[in-house]
Structure 1
């Protein structure tokens, strides 16, 4: 198969985007989804669905839950890009691919911690999107939509970095 860097970029972006949705919505467990935003100032009460035991979680638990989510999220992207690139015959430079996937994973952590005055809330305020960030009506959730679009942008940058040095054929 012949390809250009542009085609490699498009493939890697598609693979990371699909893996992101799987990692965020299918792989992430309920505990991480609920607790990853916990802080000592704004603790999260979590009820285990199986045992019905409720526990309270602060900053340390929130950081660990978010880190674990980002590890499984990143692993999902690594598997998708590795398998997809192999199936498509795309040869990525390993360091570039890891750097691109690291951009996605690290920025995912920064966005998903969403602690008061977190990264996304700060960006929303500085760009005049505070009301949209706070929207939770009409079947919409502004914070979630801004979170998703932030991830998409970071994945695009990551895909660009990942395809630096891709063997052109």
Structure 2
């Protein structure tokens, strides 16, 4: 028996998936680091009710003279704001790259497909960068919490080990999960861009 040729919609969808997955992967570090403000990188993981200053996350209890031009707010609020600001720039950068790739390659990419990919990456990126879900997941997948505790970085002599920045296990797990979810986003976007039947017709040659 000869294999039936793949429908044109499937070929187009697979080609689009490959282009989007490559674009998302290639643009990830640029959007995640170059577009992220240093302030957001430091503050996006803050949690709890302790009052801190929004500009740098300094606990109000550690400041002898209250700052006149800044009002302390709960740490969780500062963390959420920083994570949202970061992910907004990330999503914007991704949309720009997606538009560029689509135009250069002449790909048919409806806005609903572009937005779907951006929303998936936006939502999952925010949750991962807030860290609690990532730490929860790490404990349940191959005991990665022990890896996180082991692979830390000493930034300065005498300082506390950095457990989440570049070079640490948590950072590597963070990046790996972002990139894996980028594949999901690319698949969903490609499916929405090129509709078609998922099932082979009955009686078709194989």
- Structure with the higher fraction of residues in helix conformation: 1
Would you say the 8 A contact 1:133–1:141 is kept in 2?
Answer: yes
Partner of 1:136: 152
Which of the pair has more CA radius of gyration? Answer: 2
Would you say the 8 A contact 1:8–1:163 is kept in 2?
Answer: yes
1:145 to 172, 175, 178: 172
Q: Kindly indicate whether residue 148 of structure 2 is the aligned counterpart of residue 121 of structure 1.
A: no
The TM-score normalised by the length of structure 2 is: 0.68
Partner of 1:157: 184
**1:81 & 1:123 partners in 2: Cα distance?**
30
2:29 to 17, 21, 25: 21
Following superposition, the deviation at residue 166 of structure 1 comes to 3.2
Following superposition, the deviation at residue 40 of structure 1 comes to 3.0
Root-mean-square deviation (Å): 2.5
Following superposition, the deviation at residue 133 of structure 1 comes to 2.3
**2:51 & 2:176 partners in 1: Cα distance?**
27
**1:93 & 1:157 partners in 2: Cα distance?**
18
The TM-score normalised by the length of structure 1 is: 0.82
Following superposition, the deviation at residue 41 of structure 1 comes to 5.1
Would you say the 8 A contact 1:101–1:158 is kept in 2?
Answer: yes
Would you say the 8 A contact 1:32–1:69 is kept in 2?
Answer: yes
Following superposition, the deviation at residue 113 of structure 1 comes to 0.9
Q: Kindly indicate whether residue 107 of structure 2 is the aligned counterpart of residue 93 of structure 1.
A: no
Would you say the 8 A contact 1:43–1:59 is kept in 2?
Answer: no
SS at match of 1:72: helix
2:38 to 30, 34, 45: 30
Partner of 1:51: none
Q: Which segments of 5 or more consecutive residues in structure 1 lack a partner in the other structure? A: 48-53
**2:177 & 2:189 partners in 1: Cα distance?**
18
Q: How many positions carry a matched residue from both structures?
A: 157
